[in-house]
Amino acid sequence: MKTKRFASALLACLGLWQSVALAQDCGIYVEEESGAGLVFFDTGIAREYESSGTVRAVHQHYRNGDALFLRNVESGATEEYRFTADLGALKKVDTKWGEKVYTREEDYTYACAPVAALKPLTQGECETGKNAQCCKNGDVSACVAVAMLKDDVGELKRWCETSPEACLRLFDQYERLANANHKDQFNMYAEHAPLPPAQLEELRAACERHMTPELCGKSASQQWRAHAFGAAQQTLGMMCASDLGEKSCERFESFGDLELPDALPKAKALPCGEYFSTVSSLTGDMTFADRGTVSIGIGSKLRARLEDGLIKIRHDKGGDFVFARLADDLLLGLDTWNELELYVREKKPKKACAAPLVYKEVALSDACGLDKDPQACCATGDTQGCNRLGTMAAMSNDWKTAAQMYAKVCAKGVRVGCENWAYTIAKSGDKKGVQNGMKQLCAKDKLHVACDVLEVTNFDAYVMAFELEKLTKE
């Protein structure tokens, strides 16, 4: 990474964590191995850059003799470095994650005189149970921890004015409250509720005030989740201009001149053909084919469906990939895995895709909670009881019994029972037994949910997992 690249990028975007209209860089050091860099400012702020010039993190810095302390302003984590005698290099003190050596591009000069308010950095991170005292001694991270312990939203709001870490903890609280009554609140892969408009505005303002990568990334994500697509585009553009976030520029540029709608159009049919995203964290391409089958990556086949005008693709984590169909050739990602993503179909398929089948599904019972005996529940045909017995057997490494219990749940038309039954192959190797069992269910009813699982499941991958595990034990 070139010093000139640093200088031009940094001086162009001095919207830093504090008021830094007059901030000057006073030291630039580059890591030998990766090409990442640290740029110090006379305001007590340091920016950590990837070799590409993207901001990885923003820190506070405080020098005490040959020791240099860096505290991440978003996470509160502190690291200690040491200068060599001639200031020619910086070496990380704690090397349990590997040695880091930064060599000088521009001297850490006297202009980087320690900001007195940052002296608590020399004490490192506050010890457990002593946050109140550390807060009194000027440790802002400790003050944030105290506010979190008290669940004091008002105090977090106050600290958010000057601390990105406080803002992130505040918006974590907001997000938990927004999803408190969500039926899948404990499923990290499920769809989540957006923040209310007033809190979205707070988050946007906090991003503009502090200009740190995680905080601004959270703002763009929450705007997207609330279908405030124009605002999310604007945030991504601002992040790109300030080199914040690993993929902010790629995402912003992927939209080109496209004006995203304020209201999503309702899809009337599933897509057909191959769609690409240049920045997808999921796969980069999806191929929609007959009966709603979707190929993602190598050997992964899923099933798409229309629901409430959206395209939903069930995955194996208990949730859905969700897309809006802007046009025949454009899909907009809405779920956590695909947010801020645009998928484009470059050419129309040669023939139309066959319409999907609607399989018969039954929801898993909720009548056998932890206060009830799963054996007794299952004996009456309760699917939750049988599923619990399957899970208990799996935890005891009794995969034969687990398969038998999950088979009972599957036979009742519960998808998760069929999926769990298929998974037992990875532990038992009994591909033939599971497939034959599902085929028998399909022979009786071609719309049984087992038929769907039978078609889209990669059974050979489970067999491979079984064989690999067996090899490791030999």
Residue 37: name the closest of 5, 83, 69 by CA.
Answer: 5
pLDDT confidence band for 219 (50 / 70 / 90):
very high
**DSSP category for residue 192:** -
Greater model confidence, 281 or 127: 127
Q: How much of the chain, in percent, has pLDDT values that exceed 90?
A: 67
pLDDT of amino acid 299: 66
Q: Tell whether the model's pLDDT for residue 130 goes beyond 90.
A: yes
pLDDT of amino acid 113: 86
pLDDT of amino acid 474: 72
Q: Tell whether the model's pLDDT for residue 21 goes beyond 60.
A: no
pLDDT confidence band for 473 (50 / 70 / 90):
confident
pLDDT of amino acid 415: 94
| Mean pLDDT to the nearest integer, 408-427 | 96
CB 390, CB 414: distance < 8 Å: no
Q: Tell whether the model's pLDDT for residue 38 goes beyond 60.
A: yes
pLDDT of amino acid 94: 76
pLDDT of amino acid 282: 65
pLDDT of amino acid 247: 87
pLDDT confidence band for 4 (50 / 70 / 90):
very low
Q: Tell whether the model's pLDDT for residue 6 goes beyond 50.
A: no
pLDDT confidence band for 315 (50 / 70 / 90):
confident
Greater model confidence, 3 or 295: 295
| Mean pLDDT to the nearest integer, 97-124 | 85
| Burial (CB count within 10 angstroms: exposed 0-12, middle 13-18, buried 19+), residue 4 | exposed
pLDDT of amino acid 318: 67
Greater model confidence, 178 or 440: 440
Greater model confidence, 234 or 32: 234
| Mean pLDDT to the nearest integer, 18-35 | 73
pLDDT confidence band for 15 (50 / 70 / 90):
very low
pLDDT of amino acid 182: 61
pLDDT of amino acid 307: 92
Continuous segment of H or E residues that includes residue 222: helix 213-225
- Per mean pLDDT, which range of 21-25, 81-85, 244-248 is the poorest? 21-25
Residue 218: name the closest of 258, 202, 69 by CA.
Answer: 202
CB 246, CB 236: distance < 8 Å: no
Mean pLDDT of the chain: 88
pLDDT of amino acid 158: 96
Place of tokens 């001297």: 107
| Mean pLDDT to the nearest integer, 97-102 | 80
User: Burial code of 453-474, b = ≥16 C-beta within 10 A, e = fewer?
Assistant: bbebbebeebeeebeeeeeeee
pLDDT tens-digit readout, 144-177: 999 999 999 999 999 999 999 999 999 999 999 9
**DSSP category for residue 290:** G
pLDDT of amino acid 421: 97
Q: How much of the chain, in percent, has pLDDT values that exceed 70?
A: 91
Q: Tell me how far apart the alpha carbons of residues 48 and 54 are, in angstroms, rounded to a whole number.
A: 9
Q: Tell whether the model's pLDDT for residue 10 goes beyond 90.
A: no
| Mean pLDDT to the nearest integer, 179-195 | 66
pLDDT tens-digit readout, 367-387: 999 999 999 999 999 999 999
CB 421, CB 406: distance < 8 Å: yes
Q: Tell me how far apart the alpha carbons of residues 425 and 469 are, in angstroms, rounded to a whole number.
A: 12
CB 408, CB 423: distance < 8 Å: no
Q: Tell me how far apart the alpha carbons of residues 194 and 219 are, in angstroms, rounded to a whole number.
A: 11
pLDDT tens-digit readout, 256-272: 888 888 788 899 999 99
| Mean pLDDT to the nearest integer, 19-28 | 67
pLDDT tens-digit readout, 268-303: 999 999 999 878 766 678 999 999 999 887 667 889
For residue 3, give Cα distances in angstroms to 75, 107, 213, 330.
27, 12, 21, 40
Q: Tell whether the model's pLDDT for residue 339 goes beyond 50.
A: yes
Using N-to-C axis directions, what is the helix angle for 399-411 and 383-395, rounded to 10°? 160
Continuous segment of H or E residues that includes residue 358: none
pLDDT confidence band for 11 (50 / 70 / 90):
very low
CB atoms inside a 10 Å sphere around CB 330: 16
pLDDT of amino acid 3: 42
pLDDT tens-digit readout, 419-446: 999 999 999 999 999 999 999 999 999 9
